[in-house]
Amino acid sequence: MQQIINFVIRNKTFLLFLLLFVISLGLTIQSHSYHKSKFINSANFLTGGIYESASGISDYFDLNEQNDILIEENNRLRSQILNSSDTITIASSSIDSVTYNGRYKIQSAKIINNNYASTKNYLTLNKGENDAIKEDLGVITSNGIVGIIDNTSNSYSRVLSILNTKSRINAQLKSSNHIGSLKWDGKSPATTVQLTDISKFAPVKEGDTIITGGQSTIFPKGILIGTINSFALDISGDTYTIQVKLFNDMTNLSHVYIIENLDTEEIKLLENPIDE
Amino acid sequence: MNSVNLNSIIRFVVLILAQVLVFSNINFMGTINPYPYILFILLFPINNNRTLFIFLSFMLGLFVDLFSNSGGVHAAACVTIAFIRPPVLKFAFGMVYEHQTIKFNNTEFGNRLIYFSILVFIHHLIMFTLEIFNISNIILVLQKTLFSSIFTIILCALISILFSTKQR
């Protein structure tokens, strides 16, 4: 017994190092599995508060640019309203104001921290559970998608960016209904993501538009993502891997919209009935 | 509370804030960021209380992790370089360290650069390996380690020159 205590005292530095190293390894491994990184995240009052006050200062520098973006978006929406009243072309396209009514709730939020340099990127928003923000809501801007909310606190929430190797988003070609999943390989620059698992029979063309598919409950169908930059068949020869150039400039984001599908619970209940 | 302790506490807070608000958002050439917050570990006063030093390094890394949503990669890297600091000090400074009379302000610039480089490189290697966590991306790990290390070493050298107070 005496010897064990002596051993511990003699090697206490090494043992402490080992303990702390194992703790941090555990936290790392936990953060690599989706939906488990509960403890270490930037959506808490300390980090959120510091980021918010810092972004309060830096926000003033791009007010002009944000105004231009808003005017452009207003312009587009107004022309859609005016044109939809006398033609029915807009109703057949994916952005249909009639079906959106009631099914989706949209809230605006401000980005207080944006990362795009690492392989696992997250954003922090200034809204949280107090504003009825929950996990698994979609986040978009007027140009396209940004990511999915994966962690919330009372007044902040964290977004799993599409520039994160853990992110998987259901997407499809605009010209046909072939679906695939949108990923990021961590190596390409912040303007490019990959669309995988598109069937080899799909009519893929450079310059075509990629939109979100309606297969998940997170994003409605038809949210813009980007255009096809280049594409190649997989090694197996069955599916395409497409390099998608994003419409969004992920390095310059400020205001976002959070989309909530009000039917999510009903759809989930239908798909996964509770066993009795 | 003496001035050494107070100095360390101020360094701890200021370096974390500078790291998460400024240095993590530089994004030079798209993806290259420096991590000069480890200056806290590099310049921590040398005394016999290694347990406290390792624990403080862990907290430093954990705070940066908290801000940058990276799980525990900074904490793991910081704890490791805190643990292996004595042998590196011995290697870089030789006899001066053996006599326990070392003061970073009075050391040769060349020795200090070697000491910084070794620890920064090890820190970045562990950090990026754990962050990417994929053996097939080993080239990406090495590439990021190399570029970020160069950036961090230059910044650390500059900061340590700017804030050094020569004692006569």
Return per-residue pLDDT of chain B as tens, 168 residues.
577 788 889 999 999 999 988 898 888 887 889 999 999 998 888 876 888 999 999 999 999 998 888 888 999 999 999 999 988 988 888 776 666 666 777 777 888 899 999 999 999 999 999 988 888 888 989 999 999 999 999 999 999 888 876 654
Q: What is the pTM of this model?
A: 0.84
Kindly list the residues from chain A whose CB atom is less than 8 angstroms away from the CB atom of residue B31.
Answer: 116-118, 189-190
Residue B61 near residue B54 (C-beta atoms within 8 A): no
> In A233-249, which positions are buried (b, 16+ CB within 10 angstroms) versus exposed (e)?
eeeeeebbbbbbebbbe
Kindly list the residues from chain A whose CB atom is less than 8 angstroms away from the CB atom of residue B76.
Answer: 21, 24-25, 28
Q: Is the ipTM of this complex over 0.90?
A: no
> How far does B167 lie from chain A, in Å, by closest CA?
32
Measured between alpha carbons, how far is A99 from A223 in angstroms, rounded to an integer?
14
> How far does B9 lie from chain A, in Å, by closest CA?
18
Task: Tell me the per-residue pLDDT of A209-236, one tens digit each, with 9 for 90 and over.
Answer: 999 988 888 888 888 899 999 998 888 8
What average pLDDT does range A231-246 have in this prediction? Answer: 89
pLDDT at A92 over 50: no
> How far does B42 lie from chain A, in Å, by closest CA?
17
β-partners of residue A145 are A140
Interface probe with B: pick from A9, A11, A14, A17, most Cβ of B within 10 Å: A17
Nearest CB among B24, B32, B58 relative to A20 is that of B58
Interface probe with B: pick from A36, A53, A62, A118, most Cβ of B within 10 Å: A118
Domains of chain A (ranges, CATH numbers)? 45-165+254-263 (2.40.10.340), 169-246 (2.40.10.350)
Q: Distances in Å between the alpha carbon of B161 and those of B16, B158, B165?
A: 19, 5, 9
**Angle formed by the axes of helices B109-132 and B73-83, to 10°?**
140
How many Cβ atoms from other residues are within 10 Å of residue A71's Cβ?
A: 10
Tokens representing A20 are: 């702390």
Measured between alpha carbons, how far is B11 from B26 in angstroms, rounded to an integer?
21
